[in-house]
Structure 1
């Protein structure tokens, strides 16, 4: 059953809307009351307290829906072979040039039919057609350790290395031996387990993870805990994505507008990320109540998001999943980006990647065209999100699309993103229209933030003229909206479909655990030394 977009359903009510219509302007069909028409109290911006528990909030429209990100696996067809980038646990040699297949993460290509192994650079040169029959790959045990597992490394290979990593290969983490608590010396870094936390409430759920609000028993501090079942990530690529998310969480801990990591630990069946608990809810939850924001408010959020994206880019990370769901508000009203499962790390200036991934409504044209891309895709997504905040709808909604099954598909959405001229609402200021046109330029080279001056073009854009960027990054600018929170555990800003779920974890299945290669998750444990030092002061 297809879910209808909130933005499309607004069209149904447009005909009876009391506001005057401007011919030729699609946006004027859903012109909504301005913030100033609602009231002078800032609390009216996000009316997020229901009349009674479980009841809808004033003005809430639950037809705004959440859509998860996807990652399409890329296959390369050559001479009947169907090659896929793979990670080899043993030394492997190219069937074409006979040289060793070097690299980190996904080192080479493997035909999913005949199992032929080749370098990425050699796969187009393979002349022997695929027999669709199994051919034993050339893999050799490593004489040094008997298993041939390639060394894990967190740094990017230098340009002098014989074989660079494949386009979308996150660097693998350094291996670390498991540490038992009884082996730790007094004052040394401790390890955590599930017994150290009290599970309080479910606050989110994704395609392969559940997010809980938890309390660290020793300090009574509240955190969020992302729980991933190992059985769902045993594929080579899935494991790499989990490791990438861990690396990005570690990096993000150093920035005020990114959700940071407290610790990681594992059980035989699950992986656990303990992260900051951001209490204000996400922008999707709040936009379900307000529909569109005043320009000053959208400017503030867009500016803080810009700083967060710039930090990730400066550390070689493409975010690739910016959307309303992943923009959280803290207790003061500042934003924090979360969910790094779609990130690509190890990107140097001028580097590109090619994985087809993201949340459909936010995917940049260059991804849809199958082109190599870089940081440009994040600035496109920021344009889409800023448009949603200012206009109260997606820039790609088509009139009556919800009533036409042929237009209510992913393929049609992609066609619209590639071909449709984006209409800017006439109600927006000239500066707002200019920044939207800049971010939503279908040419990545001409997009705002992607030119010769890169991020400086965003800093100096007229739309952000009133922003003091230094004070903003130091969180010295007062947010335009402060979430209503009665306590540290107040969950009024989280969707009840999550918070009403039972909090317990399902019992382990010994049969499922037996099929999991636990060596794939070696070195997953981690403790943030900065947060640890703060806890020791408690």
Structure 2
């Protein structure tokens, strides 16, 4: 692109008015906006062939100095302080980050810890190689994830910082959650106490409630996508499969999710689908895999209720240490989901209130599942504020103790119930 400038433009630049420039197209004569003359008759000299805005500014400065030497310059004005917000007045600042340890991977992305060399703030950075984005649908999926995530703002949602790219990769900077995910917590602890489950579940429900208020379905809620920050607050992450609805009555027909957590209404609209890893295994090695297949054969589609179902699976897993429908074969897992075939482990003590809440969520008909408001009012979660605060404090102080720790006694809390339930 070539820019055309006249001395009138230069004068206005000195007066801190935006540079008046015209683009010369097809050799046509363009009138000067300042002196109302054609460029060939303008009282100032005309500058051509500036191939970039930086070169244009250099040409303007040189021409102005030349004009002053010939007595055609403008009157000298007092020096003004540069406005920090005026990024046209100085070279743009390039943010730099130092790449740290590898945090994990998911889908096409590798996640690393990075530190800003300007502020020393630490972030999590998703790095997606552009070679993985050759297909238009993959590009559209990534763009949709970025556009959706960047507009979300809630204490229980991982904060979106910024995104940028270079010739090789796309980089997405996110809030760093130093206490990792609930999946890693369960791997270390095997399972958590009911007090801890109450605390975690309340925060998960608050995050999902916010998403649904924004007409967003997460569609991939699972232990691996529930992170914990430094203060052990829940942060929902990974919006790669999330859907933005135009209105609350809209239904989606895309088949997507993670095998252990997928809702039956999604499976009921699913044609024969190959297993994720080709060998039919559905063990812990492929728990992070998901499916995302477009299908138009779903009769009624799915909506917010699929997230409620996934919350029920998370609740069962936190209490028992194992997903309710997990098997070694993914097709067997799907069959158990369709038939609602799960059992409580006989060697794990679970309260009647916790079982009742799980049972109310894990139902085949989506319309029969409780709302988030209803779940927050369930007896398993309903407790006085002072009791819930005590539960939270106990949770924060003991959440990451190994299950075989010598401090196991610290995790034995007195029974806390609502007076109205006694």
TM-score (norm 1): 0.50
Counterparts of 1:310-459 in structure 2, within 5 Å, are 310-370=209-269, 371=298, 372-397=301-326, 408-425=328-345, 427-449=349-371, 455-459=372-376
User: Are 1:333 and 1:479, in contact at CA under 8 Å, matched by a contact in 2?
Assistant: no
The alignment partner of 1:480 has SS state of helix
Mapped to 2, the partners of 1:212 and 1:483 lie a distance apart of: 27
Q: Deviations over 1:24-53 (max 9, x none)?
A: xxxxxxxxxxxxxxxxxxxxxxxxxxxxxx
The alignment partner of 2:144 has SS state of helix
User: Are 1:257 and 1:335, in contact at CA under 8 Å, matched by a contact in 2?
Assistant: yes
The alignment partner of 1:255 has SS state of coil
Q: Deviations over 1:34-75 (max 9, x none)?
A: xxxxxxxxxxxxxxxxxxxxxxxxxxxxxxxxxxxxxxxxxx
Question: Are the structure 2 counterparts of residues 479 and 342 from structure 1 closer, same or farther at C-alpha, using a change threshold of 3 Å?
Answer: farther
Aligned residues: 286
Are 2:125 and 1:230 equivalent residues in the alignment? Answer: no
Question: Are the structure 2 counterparts of residues 266 and 409 from structure 1 closer, same or farther at C-alpha, using a change threshold of 3 Å?
Answer: same
User: Are 1:318 and 1:347, in contact at CA under 8 Å, matched by a contact in 2?
Assistant: no
Question: Are the structure 2 counterparts of residues 467 and 272 from structure 1 closer, same or farther at C-alpha, using a change threshold of 3 Å?
Answer: farther
Counterparts of 1:100-249 in structure 2, within 5 Å, are 186-187=84-85, 196-249=96-149
Mapped to 2, the partners of 1:391 and 1:477 lie a distance apart of: 20
Question: Are the structure 2 counterparts of residues 255 and 188 from structure 1 closer, same or farther at C-alpha, using a change threshold of 3 Å?
Answer: farther
Q: Which runs of 4+ in 1 moved over 2 A?
A: 182-193, 420-427, 476-479, 481-485
Mapped to 2, the partners of 1:185 and 1:320 lie a distance apart of: 45
Unaligned runs of 5+ in 2: 1-52, 58-81, 270-297, 401-422
Question: Are the structure 2 counterparts of residues 364 and 292 from structure 1 closer, same or farther at C-alpha, using a change threshold of 3 Å?
Answer: same
User: Are 2:325 and 2:341, in contact at CA under 8 Å, matched by a contact in 1?
Assistant: no
Shift of the alpha carbon at 1:447? 0.9
The alignment partner of 1:463 has SS state of coil
Q: Deviations over 1:229-261 (max 9, x none)?
A: 122123222122112211232133x20011011
Q: Name whichever structure is richer in helix by fraction.
A: 2
User: Are 2:336 and 2:342, in contact at CA under 8 Å, matched by a contact in 1?
Assistant: no
Unaligned runs of 5+ in 1: 1-178, 399-407, 450-454, 486-538
Larger Rg belongs to: 2
Shift of the alpha carbon at 1:224? 0.9
User: Are 1:201 and 1:212, in contact at CA under 8 Å, matched by a contact in 2?
Assistant: yes
Counterparts of 1:496-511 in structure 2, within 5 Å, are none
